[in-house]
Amino acid sequence: MHFESPIKRRHSRQIMVGNVPVGGGAPISIQSMTNTETCDVDATVAQIHAIADAGADIVRVSIPSMDAAEAFKKIRESVSIPLVADIHFDYKIALKVAEYGVDCLRINPGNIGNKDRIRAVVDCARDKNIPIRIGVNAGSLEKDLQKKYGEPTPDALVESAFRQIQYFDELDFHEYKLSLKASDIFMTVEAYRKIASQIDNPLHLGITEAGGLRSGTVKSSIGLGLLLMDGIGDTLRVSLAADPVQEIKVGWDMLRSLKLRNRGINFIACPSCSRQNFDVIKTMNELEERLEDIVVPMDVAVIGCIVNGPGEAKEADIGLAGGSPNNLIYQDGKPNSKTKNETLVDDLEKMIRGKAALKEKELANIIVKS
């Protein structure tokens, strides 16, 4: 199933977060945020490495104190992935981490303070060529907007954002991206749609405080999926009360499903029924666990019977169709070999890894020729 995404992405300006382009037609970057105690440098560095290994492009780190800012210096020296410093309340923390090589500053207009403090951050960012993320959040809107609207609304989020946009324009600073997050899907989607048509700055997508692994994945997939289908979004974070590595996996699954980016194996698998000739669920669980290290894009179909098995297998790089007495493995759309249930997972893994190695060589040759 190899075809281009029909999604037409919104035009946006491009900024650089470290060596990662955001906006301007660049691939939609995926990020997560550490949930370790930032002052525990070893634990935070270990988690950043795990997040990066899962496929993250950018990692955000909370910097709630000057002690955390000092810890950030050591963290920055220990990892190569671009880092965003998450700053609330104390603008001086932003100035400090800017000295230590941060790649982007995230500030919240609802609590960072008055214009003089914002100007100090902007001047520092300009001097050091650091982009800023304006992070508007329904849970921390400015007090006067809370009073005006009575409760968080899409218009309140947009008005908060435009206050900062106007001030950044007055300061002639344009290296920023914007987020307008709420835990409510409808509010978030409407806010992003409203602002997307009025500015050309890159947009950072997210449903904030979406929930645990299952419920948060569902909420984020619906909300972000709607926006991505509209062509809105230049970078995203799936906010889950779970291991941050899971956020990256879900983010990749979203972009892969919409054919906006591709990494690793796209599994096509049936939910199984009494027609299955092997245990589809067990097979899928084993394959996903064994093959997490494969990053080359490929399609693998695992279908338990002959109803849809041959048809799906013919469209995949590697396909499996359940049969009796043996199951049939396809490669590049053609029957390749038969396998028994007892050796099915081992046989499939061997073929998938072989195909992945061939694809890696092909990609390497293309890069060399270009």
Q: Domains of the chain (ranges plus CATH)? A: 15-258 (3.20.20.20), 265-369 (3.30.413.10)
- Residue 367: both structure tokens together: 């890069």
Residue 270 counted as an annotated binding residue: yes
Is 370 a residue whose pLDDT tops 80? no
- Residue 156: both structure tokens together: 């309140």
- Residue 150: both structure tokens together: 């009575």
CB hemisphere CA count around 272 (13 angstroms)? 10
Residue 326 makes CB contacts below 8 A (sequence gap 6+) with 338, 339, 340
> What pLDDT was estimated at residue 345?
97
Residue 305 counted as an annotated binding residue: yes
- Strands 327-331 and 83-87 come out as unpaired
- Strands 334-339 and 327-331 come out as antiparallel
**The residue type at 351:** M
Q: How far is CA 282 from the centre of its chain?
A: 28
In order of 44, 46, 222, 251, 300, the CA distances from 218 in angstroms are 28, 28, 6, 12, 24
Q: Could you tell me the pLDDT band of residue 71, with boundaries at 50, 70 and 90?
A: very high
What is the rounded distance in angstroms from the CA atom of residue 239 to the CA atom of residue 224? 11
For residue range 333-363, list pLDDT tens digits in order.
Answer: 999 999 999 999 999 999 999 999 999 998 8
> What pLDDT was estimated at residue 333?
93
Is 239 a residue whose pLDDT tops 60? yes
DSSP string of 63-91, one letter each residue: --SHHHHHHHHHHHHH--S-EEEEE-S-H
- Mean predicted lDDT score pLDDT of the chain: 95
